[in-house]
Amino acid sequence: QQKVQQSPESLIVPEGGMASLNCTSSDRNVDYFWWYRQHSGKSPKMLMSIFSNGEKEEGRFTVHLNKASLHTSLHIRDSQPSDSALYLCAASGAGNTGKLIFGLGTTLQVQP
Amino acid sequence: EAGVTQSPRYAVLQEGQAVSFWCDPISGHDTLYWYQQPRDQGPQLLVYFRDEAVIDNSQLPSDRFSAVRPKGTNSTLKIQSAKQGDTATYLCASSFGTEVFFGKGTRLTVV
């Protein structure tokens, strides 16, 4: 069973719309969550990280974390065609933040 | 600052052949990771090192895969006797602290 589960598997939003992506860990030993974005044929690039309960905003991107349920979500407002990519959620433990457990990803397509 | 460098970028093998992938991490990064990413899926950790020591290789198919980082800098991942199921992109990553940086990967196709 996948320890990090993402939903939806794929998502289509219109340009200017809001995209909401979800991620839950079934491993209670995780403490940190990461969101990576991977454009087709490119390497994953870290988008945002969140370690504490609550919300974190950077530009058009907002992440939420509920540590009790080990659920995080990524919201992209005013989506642009350049946001079209595979979005990967990863989790890691506090003692080893670099050992990332990835989900299968959500493929986002922003339609002009 | 130079990123994580990998070579080759692409490899095409017949089943049963061997291949080696090379990785040069970001200078000063003590931790190096090898991930396998099948098409349209998330990366899965194969092995990682801190300096020259293997910290976790539990997901590395030990009968055909091997990885070394002899001087705690560059690393080599080798596949002996490749299978079609090994078709994937092999990503090297490095870190010093919390953030992990990925290389561009080697796309392997086994026919």
CB A42 to CB B45 under 8 A? no
> 3-class DSSP state for residue A104?
coil
Q: Which residues pair with A93 in a beta bridge?
A: A96
Q: Which residues of A touch B33 (CB under 8 A)?
A: 98-100
| Residue A2: per-residue pLDDT | 75
Closest-approach residue (CA) in chain A for B35: A100
Give the tens place of pLDDT for each residue, B34-82.
Answer: 999 998 889 999 999 999 999 999 999 889 999 999 988 999 999 999 9
Averaged pLDDT score across all residues of chain A: 93
Radius of gyration for chain B, computed over Cα atoms and rounded to the nearest angstrom: 13
Q: Is the peptide bond before A8 cis (omega within 30 degrees of 0)?
A: yes
CB contact under 8 A, A97 and B45: no
For residue A59, give every residue at least 6 positions away whose Cβ sits within 8 Å of its Cβ, in sequence order, or none. none
B105 chain-A contacts, CB cut-off 8 A: 43
Question: Cβ of A44 and B104 within 8 Å?
Answer: no
With H, G, I as helix, E, B as strand and everything else as coil, classify residue B84.
helix
pLDDT classification of B1: cutoffs 50, 70, 90: low
Question: Residue B18's pLDDT band (boundaries 50, 70, 90)?
Answer: very high
B88-95 and B100-102 strand pairing: antiparallel
The two structure tokens encoding residue B26:
């970001």
The answer to whether the CB of A90 falls within 8 A of the CB of A36 is: yes
Enter the tokens of residue B81. 């006797």
Share of chain A above pLDDT 90, in %: 79
Q: Please provide residue B64's backbone torsions phi and psi, each rounded to the nearest 5 degrees.
A: -130, -20
Average pLDDT over residues A64-70: 94
B48 touching chain A per CB within 8 A: yes
- Distance from C-alpha of B77 to C-alpha of B11, rounded to nearest angstrom: 13
Mean residue pLDDT of chain B comes to 94
| B2-22 average pLDDT score | 95
pLDDT over 90 at A41, yes or no:
no
